Amino acid sequence: MLTLFPWQEGAWQDLPGNRTLAHALLISGPQGIGKIAFAHRLGMRLVCEQGRACGVCRSCVFAGKGDHPDILVIKAEEGKAEITVEHARALNAFLALTPHLAERRVSIIEAADQLNRSAGNALLKTLEEPPAESFILLVSHAPARLLPTVRSRCQKVHLHKPSRTEALGYLKTRGVSEAEAALKIAHGAPLSAEGLPKDALNTAFRLLETLEHLAKGVLDTATAGEGWQTLDLGYGLSLFTGILADIVRLATVGTLPEPFPGDWEPRLRRLASQLDLQQLFTLWDEVLELHGLADAPLDRRLIWDKLFLRFEQLRAQ
C-alpha cells in the first residue's frame, strides 16, 4: 500500500480531482521529504477503480506492487546522470497507447531534473498535445534545471519540509538514534535523516576537522583528500554543503536554526572568521552543481581534491 507521510496530508487534500487535474504536474521540493512516494500515490489514485487510491481494488494492488501495466516509471539508468531522449520517446509511445487495465495511463519521471536537453525537447510535444486520459508526473528537487518550456507546461505542486516536531516524531517512530543530530545533518529532511549511516555524526565532525586544518594551513589538500573517496559522494556533498550553509548563517544571522551536539557551533564561528565569505558563496554554488552528478561514474578522489583545494583558497588574506 502506497501511503502518504503525515506532513503530506495538506498538499494531498489541496490536489484537484482527477477530472480537473492537469495532464502534467511538476512535483517539487527539497530532497528527502518523500516527493517520489507522493507521486506514486497520485499515480495510484489516477488508475484506481474508485478514483481515490482506495488500496484494495485490482488497480491499486498492482500499483502498490509497482507493476501496474498503465503506469510507467522513468528514471536515469543506474550509474548514469541523465535521462536520455530514448527514455522520453518510450514515455511518449507509452502514453499514446490505449490503457490496458485502468481508464488512464500515467508516467512518473523520477528526478526529472536529470532530463537532458534532447529528452526535454522530445517530451515537449506530448506536454503540448497530451493524449486523452494521459498524465505525466515530473518529480524534482531542482526544477530550475528543467527546460523553461517544460516547466511552463506543468501544473506546480510544491511539497514542503515537515516541521521539526513532525520530522523528529517520524524519526523516533522509525527507531533512529540521535534523531536531532541526524535531522540536522540531513538539513531537516526526515527521509534523508533516516537513511544516514550510523556513524554520520562522527563523519560530520571529521569533515569539520579537515576543513579547520585546511583553513589554518596545517594540512595540504592532497593529504586532506585521502579516505574521502570511499564515502558515498551524494552523502559527502550533503555534509559539505551543510557546513558551508552553517558558516554563512553564523556569519550573517549569528545563530543556527537548530541546535547541534558538542562544540559544533563555536568551532564553526572560529572557522567563519578565517574565511573569505564572498568566495565561499561561489564554492557553495559549485558544490550544489556537483550534487546533480553524484550518481555519475566520476573520479571521487579528484572531486574531493578539488573541493578541498577550493576551500583552502577561501582563507582570508
In the chain, where the domains are located: 6-158, 197-312
Tens digit of pLDDT for each residue in 33-63?
A: 999 999 999 999 999 999 999 999 999 999 9
Kindly report which listed range (64-78, 144-158, 288-302) carries the lowest average pLDDT score: 288-302
Given this model, what pLDDT does residue 156 score?
97
According to DSSP, the β-strands at 105-109 and 71-74 are: parallel
Q: Which residue has the cell 516541521?
A: 163
More reliable by pLDDT, 250 or 119? 119
Q: Is 160 left (phi over 0), alpha (psi -120 to 50) or beta?
A: beta
Better-scored residue on pLDDT, 252 or 10: 10
Q: Tens digits of per-residue pLDDT, 253-285?
A: 888 877 777 899 999 999 988 888 888 888 888
Q: pLDDT per residue over 118-132, tens digit each?
A: 999 999 999 999 999
Q: Of 251, 234, 233, give the one whose Cα is nearest residue 189.
A: 234
Region 290-295: what's the mean pLDDT? 68
Q: Residue with C-alpha cell 496530508?
A: 9
* Mean pLDDT for the stretch of residues 110-115: 94
pLDDT range class, residue 135, cuts 50, 70, 90: very high
Checking if the pLDDT of 217 tops 80, the result is yes
Using the structure block, give the residue that is written with the C-alpha cell 499515480. 43
* pLDDT surpasses 90 at 288: no
197 against 292, higher pLDDT: 197
**Rounded average pLDDT over 75-98:** 92
Q: What is the reported pTM? A: 0.85
Q: How confident is the model at residue 206 (pLDDT cuts 50, 70, 90)?
A: very high
Share of the chain above pLDDT 70, in %: 97
Share of the chain above pLDDT 90, in %: 60
Whether residue 317 has pLDDT greater than 60: no
Give the type of residue at 103.
E
pLDDT of residue 287: 82
Q: Is the pLDDT of residue 297 over 70?
A: no
Which candidate, 3, 62, 64, places its Cα nearest to that of 38? 3
CATH architecture, domain 6-158: 3-Layer(aba) Sandwich (3.40)
Residues, the chain: 317
Q: Burial of 157 by CB count in 10 Å (0-12 exposed, 13-18 middle, 19+ buried)?
A: buried
Lowest mean pLDDT segment, chosen from 82-86, 163-167, 271-275: 271-275
Please name the fold of domain 197-312. Answer: Zinc Finger, Delta Prime; domain 3 (1.20.272)
Instruction: Label residue 301 exposed, middle or buried (CB < 10 Å: 0-12, 13-18, 19+).
Output: middle
- pLDDT greater than 70 at residue 296: no
Mean pLDDT (the chain, rounded) = 90
Q: Does the structure show a pLDDT above 60 at 1?
A: no
- Tell the residue number behind the cell numbers 521529504, with chain if given: 33
